[in-house]
Structure 1
Amino acid sequence: MSLGTEETKAVDIVKRALDLGINYLDTADLYDFGQNEELVGKAIKGQRDKVVLATKAGNKWTQGKEGWEWDPSKQLIQSAVKDSLRRLQTDYIDLYQLHGGTIDDPTEETIEAFEELKKEGYIREYGISSIRPNVIKRFVENSSIVSVMMQYSLLDTRPEEWLDYLHEKKISVIARGPLAKGLLSDNGLDKLRNKFKGKDFLDYSHEELENLLPKLLNITGDNPLQATAFHYCLAHPAVAAVIPGASSIEQLEANVNAMNKQTLSEQEYTIIKELVKRSNYDSHRN
């Protein structure tokens, strides 16, 4: 999502990611109106076998209307996949995800669409991108999803109530936003003061973040704060991947360097759990 639309730069970032051993790429048909998929397709050409390729559907753009419309219908999903395959220059998608979801959706129809695409070989597996408890539970109980993408970080622990449950069901979690808009990086305090300019972040007030971020930095020692952020999310076996995104090769390399640092010790993990808030998703529960 953060690649941008400058072709040479975007393609170079993806190619460098592959060189560094990254093997999971996650895009969506609405990112830059499909251009993101096109750029990813160009970047992985000739290297498709190195990549677990994921994209998403469920949003419709109609010329003349303002904004995207939510549409989880079978017709849209089975039409959208063919457009995504064309843009990605591939004949199959490893993980096709529903890009959202509400309890009022025609879920049976949506699941039927994904199951047929799987049977026909257009997709290998499917999942959802949602943190809504009632949506997650409905798909877990009625479909063969293999993944749930959720915003998850040290500063947003809402998914943690689901980790044991999903792990028992053999469903993986993909953690998006693990760096909390850059707050969980070594220059997080600068971002807080300059980018956020006094604003809060989810359950944390600006003042609380001013107090918390230095404490998290102290835990990391010589390791970058990104390393702590990534390994915190990956500590639970349900979490299969973290996807921080990168808008430059420098950011990409910093993320990979952080990922390659040693995992958190049990003591470090315990200290972090005592410092951060336990958050819950209060709405969309029934």
Structure 2
Amino acid sequence: MKTAHLGNSGLRVSEIGFGCMSLPTDSKQAAAIVDEAIASGINYFDTADLYNKGLNEELVGQALKGRRKDIILATKVGNQWHQDSDEVKWNATKPYILEQVHNSLTRLQTDYIDLYQLHGGMITDNAEETIDAFESLKKEGLIREYGISSIRPNVIKRFMEKSAIVSIMMQYSLFDRRPEEWLDSIGSAGTSVVTRGTLAKGLLTNEGPKRAKKMGGYLTYSESEVKDSLKNLMDIHDNLHALSLHSVLQNSTVASVVAGASSPKQIKDTIAAYETSVSIDQINEAKKATKQDVYKEHRE
């Protein structure tokens, strides 16, 4: 498994990361998946305090027990959930962030977080206050680095200009190529992208054609466009899963593809796809066979 630096930081993450949101709530099942991920060379684990109202962090913390020093552990903050309901409100204030980091540390059974990410962000936020909170946590040694998880260009631009973020988590796949407009400027600023949604809810795996029959459309793709595009992509490479991963990883700004799994087998499938050879010509053909959309909102 290759690794890459997160931005200009000293953190090196595996090119395939593990998105912990998909972990089952049974601790033994979760541990088996995490064990398979680590055995496969994955060192980057991404969770959030929002997932299952903190239960996901607890599962991750338990599963990683005794192996913390070998792991790059990322979590997120900003979505304040109500203890007794499913209500969630946005809170990017400094007092809230400084409070919640301790709750995440307890659930994760660790005394530091490698990458602490703002789980969203709006242009109306007091960004200076949010940045100050992250900088304070770095000085305390409670976090090593910080980043944001956002697809809003105006929020991304502001944090790149005013903060020391090392990474931006963005949804990026052959079926969602909107980030490509910004990848060069993000990379030039010394910041990395970590991706989510790279398999487009399973459409961009070898099971894609079967899933397409049940899912219908996807983003700006109609149902017929999804089916036609999948056929075209599979004509380019017979392993759609591999083509999807390498088409994203080919850009040097992308440090890691964060992929989920709900079973050890899904980890093995992703690793097998990662280890399958895909040529640059095939990647270029895949780009020609898919849409180059851009973000239409939150640009200013």
Alignment TM-score > 0.5, same fold: yes
Where do residues 1-286 of structure 1 align in structure 2 (5 Å cutoff)? 1-64=21-84, 66-194=86-214, 196=215, 199-221=216-238, 224-262=239-277, 264-286=278-300
Where structure 2 has 5 or more consecutive residues not aligned to the other structure, the ranges are: 1-20
Report the count of equivalent residues: 280
Where structure 1 has 5 or more consecutive residues not aligned to the other structure, the ranges are: none
AA at the equivalent of 2:298: H
Q: Residue 125 of structure 2 aligns to a residue in which SS?
A: coil
- Asked if the contact 2:117/2:148 (under 8 Å) is kept, the reply is yes
Tell which has more relative contact order, 1 or 2 (C-alpha 8 A, sep 6+).
Answer: 2
Q: Residue 119 of structure 1 aligns to a residue in which SS?
A: helix
Q: Which runs of 4+ in 1 moved over 3 A?
A: 63-66
- What is the identity percentage for the equivalent residue pairs of Structure 1 and Structure 2? 52
CA positional deviation for 1:214: 1.3
Calculate the TM-score normalised by the size of structure 2.
0.91
Structure 1 residues 132-188: Cα deviation after superposition (integer angstroms, max 9, x where no partner): 000000000000000000000000001101110011011000010110000001111
Q: Residue 270 of structure 1 aligns to a residue in which SS?
A: helix
AA at the equivalent of 1:157: R
> More displaced, 95-104 or 203-212?
203-212
Q: Residue 103 of structure 1 aligns to a residue in which SS?
A: coil
Distance in 2, matches of 1:245 and 1:256, equals 12
Distance in 2, matches of 1:4 and 1:226, equals 23
> More displaced, 103-112 or 66-75?
66-75
Distance in 2, matches of 1:55 and 1:137, equals 22
Calculate the TM-score normalised by the size of structure 1.
0.96
Distance in 1, matches of 2:86 and 2:44, equals 32
CA positional deviation for 1:65: 5.5
Cα 1:69–1:186 shift into 2, 3 Å: same
